Amino acid sequence: MRADIRAKRDVFFAAIGKTPLVMGVLNLTPDSFSDGGLYCSPDAAFARARQLADEGCAIVDVGAESTRPEAAQISDVEEARRLSPAFQRIVEGVATPVSIDTSKATVAAMACRLGAAVINDVWGLQKDPAIADIAAEAEAGVVITHNRATKDRAADIVGDIRSFFDRSLDIAERAGIPATRIILDPGLGFAKTSRQNLLAFREIAKLADYRLPVLIGASRKRFLGSLTGNGVEGSLAGSITVNLLAAAAGAAIFRVHDVAENLAALSLFARLRLPAAKIS
């Protein structure tokens, strides 16, 4: 890892837990559920990355394959084709570190060569066996996200999340990824029923026993609407509400589409929780 990328990575990880951090979502996809097709051109992608950074995100998360339910899977060649025109330009053009949202080792390796500081793997190092070794060799941070191949209404989702994390952390340890560069994500909205998403959400505080930072990615997700029945998943209010409750439960990083609004709410939340003596 280049010295400048390592410095950005280290600043990001050092800030975790000191203040709520926001990860800005940048989808270079034609079919994402919320912003598919908006940032496919290199110029649009770069402009959006700059906007996210200017609004205050701590890291820009770039992905080129939609992970929404029923999304068509693409090859590593196609994913790399979507990424390559814009990725290095984004890395060089924003002050924040950049993460790559992928589960493919070849794509992760390409992104790390171009300057990715973190690999955000929605399959928690378990789909492509080589991705953990790529992360270790590149000295990249890793986001381990819980996922399942299919929904199972009968599954003990809390137990499943813990078993999944235990396997992923064992993979990371064997690959040589230090715990200081690992983040856990319970995978809200990934192969879970509405009830299971709610159960997973209510367990956030108990994830503290892993002694690792927790990331929540609930922004604009369909399960919010299924809980209320009124389409709240499409509203900014729904995303902010979930993130504030997650922050109260101990989550440290929040993956969002609307950086400025979520950051303002989370920053105020954190300030209101300060002891009176520390408020100037």
Does any domain span residue 272? no
Mean pLDDT, to the nearest integer, of 195-210? Answer: 96
Does any domain span residue 275? no
Gap between the Cα atoms of 259 and 45, Å rounded: 16
* Alpha helices per DSSP H over 94-235: 105-114, 131-138, 157-175, 194-202, 222-228
Does any domain span residue 277? no
Does any domain span residue 279? no
The pLDDT score that the predictor gives to residue 184 is 98
* Alpha helices per DSSP H over 3-125: 3-15, 42-54, 76-93, 105-114
If residue 236 lies in a helix (H) or strand (E), which one and from where to where? helix 236-248
Token couple for 66: 């939609």
Does any domain span residue 70? yes
Structure confidence by residue, pLDDT tens digits, 53-88: 999 999 999 998 877 656 577 888 999 988 988 999
Q: Give me the domain span that covers residue 198.
A: 3-266
The number of distinct structural domains making up the chain is 1
Q: What is the CATH number of the domain that holds 186?
A: 3.20.20.20
Q: Average the pLDDT over each of 4-13, 37-46, 85-94 and give the range with the smallest value.
A: 37-46
Does any domain span residue 142? yes
Q: What is the pTM of this model?
A: 0.92
Does any domain span residue 138? yes
138 Rama sector, left if φ>0, alpha if ψ -120 to 50, beta otherwise? alpha
Q: From the candidates 48, 127, 221, 222, give the one annotated as an active-site residue.
A: 221
Does any domain span residue 25? yes
Active site residue 255: yes
Q: From the candidates 255, 271, 273, 278, give the one annotated as an active-site residue.
A: 255
